[in-house]
Chains A and B, each alone.
Chain A
């Protein structure tokens, strides 16, 4: 992605009476898909509203696509799409009419609004149902309508607040697939908030964890270089023959307790070599896993 970062938050503080919703948040978001993870009440929705310019900060600033949301809120909102967490769709309108209406409010001409409404409803998998009234839709379909209206004006950034809230497992899986497609195939940067770790893992490249109004973790979701280098090998039988075999094949291996070895690996080929050697030595490979906390462990600790 070229140009300014999608979102830059500096020293953001927002208080609601005695409650500090944002407590000095510093953040830069520029990955194709970024997940905002945290428990309910962690400050995710307040941060999203601050990004949209709908909440005025007590301290700090938010820049979205290079524009200050406090001074240029209208300009910012014209360039981004937003799907709120709560139910916000008029039940008596058809999906096509609602998306068309919001397209017009976002500045598209009537002709463009009709065409774009059709395109985005197709993109989110609602082409067949576009002429049905929203009141007859399932929760999953309504979430897709929210996504469609957020995409209709071809925004550079889409903000999705808890888009899988209330969905059953099948609907949730479909929704996550659609969201992933938005960032990967449609080239729209996505900021998605959720309190479900798996949602973020399946849709995002980068994760920001919030707890009590603060950012407690900000990292890519892919393993960093060196992070998976050290692997723990757990065996059923005595691991000594396996240790000898792997050492003979040039891997750095050492004993790490009863039925345990620690190996330094450099890639998937080393994992395959360990698996094959364990079978060859008759060690009975019980488990092969990173030595140290996994990303999940790190995320769970940050969420609190």
Chain B
């Protein structure tokens, strides 16, 4: 009689299965964000997100660098805000759009292309949890571009101020405005990016589609305002600037002209219609995501 040894090193799992929405969303968000940022992938996948984040941080680092280099009495004579917070978005608008166009499709398109979605939905995770995880995966990295640079600038300004506590006291309102404005921009572009990316399994198509959406909406807004003479409120279809205008107003940038570009104050509609327009964009994007990810076959 011969003995047979089975060493499959497999034991029945006796631990706790903690199925919950929070857990599923957190897991999906973490894995997707890491993949989109190039974690455990070749260096070429990491370059673009890192470079764009550095570009977004560039103005803040430059301003703080100038302050630290010149120092002393000359620095005292410089205006406290070399770059006003509300104007900052004018400088980094391109980086925000490029980041949203390149990183967000990376969170969602490969799942469609490799059909791994079927595998995810065969677990207890619902389509809603899946989409929520993707929103988290897109939103959190985007905050590094929309919010972090202004936070760095604010902290640096406090650090280099002759009276740091006085600076904080004078600019207390800016703290929630910087965070709230950054979150709003990130949320609107996240949902727009996901909605566009949900329509295709090709990352390149999603990126180009997102950029085209911004460019075409800007052209349409300009045409409506100038050719049809409908005034600044006609520019609410301008998706390039819609959330940025709200953030600028929140931060107190009513007086910032924003240069001649899409963020120029002369082009800016009123706050209430702006908020409604942003809400409409959010609802439309959520509707597209719902249509694309409701459970199939049911």
Which residues of A line the B interface, CB within 8 A?
Answer: 49, 52, 54-56, 74-75, 77-78, 82, 84, 86-94, 97, 101-102, 104-109, 112, 116, 119-120, 122-123, 149, 151, 153-154, 181, 185-187
Contacts and interface: CB of A to CB of B under 8 A. Distances in A.
B111 interface: yes
Given A77-B124, A90-B111, A92-B41, A107 B19 contact: yes
10 residue pairs, one from A and one from B, having the closest CB atoms:
A154-B13, A107-B17, A104-B27, A107-B19, A123-B10, A82-B122, A78-B124, A74-B124, A55-B297, A88-B115
Nearest to A16: B297
A84 B298 contact: no
A107 B6 contact: no
Contacts of A105: 24, 27-28, 120, 123-125
B13 A116 contact: yes
22 contacts: A52-B122, A56-B297, A56-B298, A74-B19, A75-B124, A77-B124, A78-B17, A87-B115, A90-B111, A90-B114, A97-B40, A107-B18, A107-B19, A107-B23, A108-B15, A109-B16, A119-B9, A122-B10, A123-B10, A149-B119, A154-B14, A185-B6
Given A107-B124, A122-B10, A181-B8, A88 B19 contact: no
B43 to A, nearest CB: 14
A86 B115 CA distance: 8
Contacts of A94: 40
B8 to A, nearest CB: 5
B116 A89 contact: yes
A71 to B, nearest CB: 13
A90 B110 contact: yes
B202 interface: no
B115 A102 contact: no
Contact of B15 (A88, A89, A112): A112
Interface residues of B, number: 40
Nearest to B8: A123
B121 A54 contact: yes
A84 B119 contact: yes
Query: SS class of chain B's interface: helix, strand, loop or mixed?
Result: loop
Contacts of B41: 92
Contacts of A49: 297
Interface in B1-31: 6, 8-20, 23-24, 27-28, 31
B125 to A, nearest CB: 5
Nearest to B117: A88
Interface string B93-123: 0000000000000000011001110111111
A109 B26 CA distance: 12
Given A88-B116, A102-B119, A112-B15, A120 B10 contact: yes
A154 B114 contact: no
Given A56-B297, A92-B41, A149-B119, 15 more contacts: A54-B297, A74-B126, A77-B123, A84-B118, A86-B115, A102-B119, A105-B28, A105-B124, A106-B19, A108-B15, A108-B18, A116-B13, A123-B8, A151-B10, A154-B14
Contacts of A102: 119-120, 123
A101 B27 contact: yes
A1 to B, nearest CB: 14
A88 B122 CA distance: 12
B295 interface: yes
B46 interface: no
Nearest to B28: A105
A109 B15 CA distance: 9
Given A90-B110, A122-B9, A153 B17 contact: yes
B118 to A, nearest CB: 5
Given A92-B35, A101-B31, A112-B13, A122 B8 contact: yes
A107 B15 CA distance: 10
Contacts of B12: 154, 187
Contacts of B13: 108, 112, 116, 153-154
A44 to B, nearest CB: 15
Contacts of A109: 15-16, 18
B144 to A, nearest CB: 22
A49 B295 CA distance: 12
A49 B296 CA distance: 11
Interface in B193-243: none
Nearest to A112: B15
Nearest to A98: B116
Contacts of B15: 108-109, 112
B183 to A, nearest CB: 26
A123 B115 CA distance: 25
B10 A119 contact: yes
A91 B114 CA distance: 7
